Amino acid sequence: MNGIPPHIEHGLVADDTALWTSSHQLTNLNDRLQQPINEFEKWCKAWKLKLQPIKTELVHFSIHPRKKYKNPVQVKVENITIQP
């Protein structure tokens, strides 16, 4: 996609977009995800594309799937909190 900053990892299928990152520390994930989301929001606004925060999902994959985290990852899309 033209114009998306190259450091934002993303994938496209039809009219859906996925942004992703990885980290060995759960505490880093909020910042590592929120910054690209903010940049993607700006990109969408510049290209007059509308985001659908209500349809937005956050999926957390872990090598420890049964481990419960005290502070799960949370990000915001257009000021709406998206939780796993």
Of residues 7 and 52, more confidently modeled: 52
Structural domain of 33: 10-82
In a domain, 42, yes or no: yes
Residue 1 lies in a domain: no
* pLDDT tens figures, 24-61: 777 778 888 888 899 889 989 999 999 999 999 998 88
Q: Is 46 contained in some domain?
A: yes
Does residue 3 lie within any of the structural domains?
no
In a domain, 72, yes or no: yes
Q: Flag whether pLDDT at 64 surpasses 70.
A: yes
Which distant-in-sequence residues (6+ apart) come within 8 Å of 16 by Cβ?
none
Q: Count of domains in the chain? A: 1
Residue 7, SS3 per DSSP: coil
